[in-house]
Amino acid sequence: MIYGIGTDIESIERFYEFFDKKNYIEKIYTQSEIEEFNSINNSRRKAEFLASRYAVKEAMSKALGVGISKYFSFKDVEVKKDILGKPMIEYKNFVVHLTISHNKDNVVAFVLLEKEDE
């Protein structure tokens, strides 16, 4: 059964300003995401990475129907990659479908949550 859907779009440009803001990075992103961010050498790709992960977290909060709140924080979700490099999320007892896309200016994330009938 579909539990919820969420989408978010972010401007890549605004994420360049966060490269050197350690407090911001540590507040929003998990340790694994920070390590992956730090391993990227291209500044354009770094901005895309931050924007896409942020969009996923926002889309997930919308799919859950709670927003970023006392029920869901940015660090509750970590984007991982499967063996083919496809982005994925493991979250509680949900099946999570995720897609991320970008163009020159923006990234968009779409999340669909499935849950077994209770």
Instruction: Please identify every residue annotated as catalytic.
Output: 62, 102
Token reading at 64: 């859950």
Q: Are 11 and 105 in contact (CB under 8 A)?
A: yes
Map tokens 């990075």 to a residue.
25
Alpha helices in 2-111 (DSSP H): 22-28, 31-39, 43-64
State the DSSP code for 104.
S
H or E element that contains 9 = strand 2-11
